[in-house]
């Protein structure tokens, strides 16, 4: 994760800047920027860049699916969006942002069916292991995955990896 190295470099070389971390959904961070609550936001791109901010693409992520190794879908050579329509989608999101997050995954990513929510990544993985559904996760670069209870596959649409935002295209998603 190159952007983390850049952040650590910044923090080491410019110690006078007080860095405080705020966590929130995409929309919560956007509104915090709009209202001057935060000065910098590192988050996924869900809309065209605003001219009001200095925007920079730090990395491109690919969408993966985590699913129980007991689920028959984990035996497929790859997972297409259509393969998941009868399996609940598990999203990690606080209660106030659940509707927006579900709409994003339905409308932009194209995942349809039942949605379940978890407050933490640990709760979500417990839901996966107990066979309650699958969870979409962003992966930046190449990452090793070693887990005997959860399989991780790239999510595909018509044989092509689903990306949150295509770097080469200014105003397009996927």
**What's the pLDDT tens digit per position in 87-121?**
999 999 989 889 999 999 999 899 999 999 999 99
Q: How many CA atoms lie within 13 A of 151 on its CB side?
A: 18
Confidence of residue 79 (pLDDT cuts 50, 70, 90): confident
Tell me how far apart the alpha carbons of residues 98 and 36 are, in angstroms, rounded to a whole number.
Answer: 24
Inter-CA distances, 140 with 3, 147, 163, Å: 10, 18, 10
What the chain holds in terms of domains, given with CATH numbers, is: 61-161 (3.40.190.10)
Higher-pLDDT residue of 169, 16: 16
- Whether the predicted pLDDT of 86 surpasses 90: yes
More confident residue, 98 or 166: 98
pLDDT at res. 140: 76
Tell me the sheet residues that pair with 65: 136, 153
- Check residue 74 and report its DSSP letter: G
């Amino acid at each position: 994760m190159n952007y983390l190295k850049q952040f650590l470099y910044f923090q080491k070389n410019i110690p006078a800047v007080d860095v405080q971390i705020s966590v929130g959904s995409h929309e919560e961070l956007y509104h915090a920027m709009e209202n001057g609550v935060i000065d910098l936001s590192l988050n996924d791109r869900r809309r065209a860049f605003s001219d009001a901010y200095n925007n920079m693409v730090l990395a491109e992520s690919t969408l993966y699916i985590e699913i129980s190794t007991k689920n028959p879908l984990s035996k497929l050579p790859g997972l297409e969006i259509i393969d998941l329509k009868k399996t609940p989608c598990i999203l990690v999101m606080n209660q106030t942002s659940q509707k927006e997050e579900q709409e994003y995954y339905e409308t932009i990513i194209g995942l349809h069916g039942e949605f379940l929510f978890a407050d933490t990544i640990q709760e979500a993985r417990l839901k996966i292991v107990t066979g309650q559904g699958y969870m979409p996760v962003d992966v930046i670069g190449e990452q090793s995955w070693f887990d005997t209870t959860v399989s991780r596959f790239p999510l595909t649409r018509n044989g092509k990896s689903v990306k949150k935002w295509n770097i080469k295209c200014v105003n397009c998603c996927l």
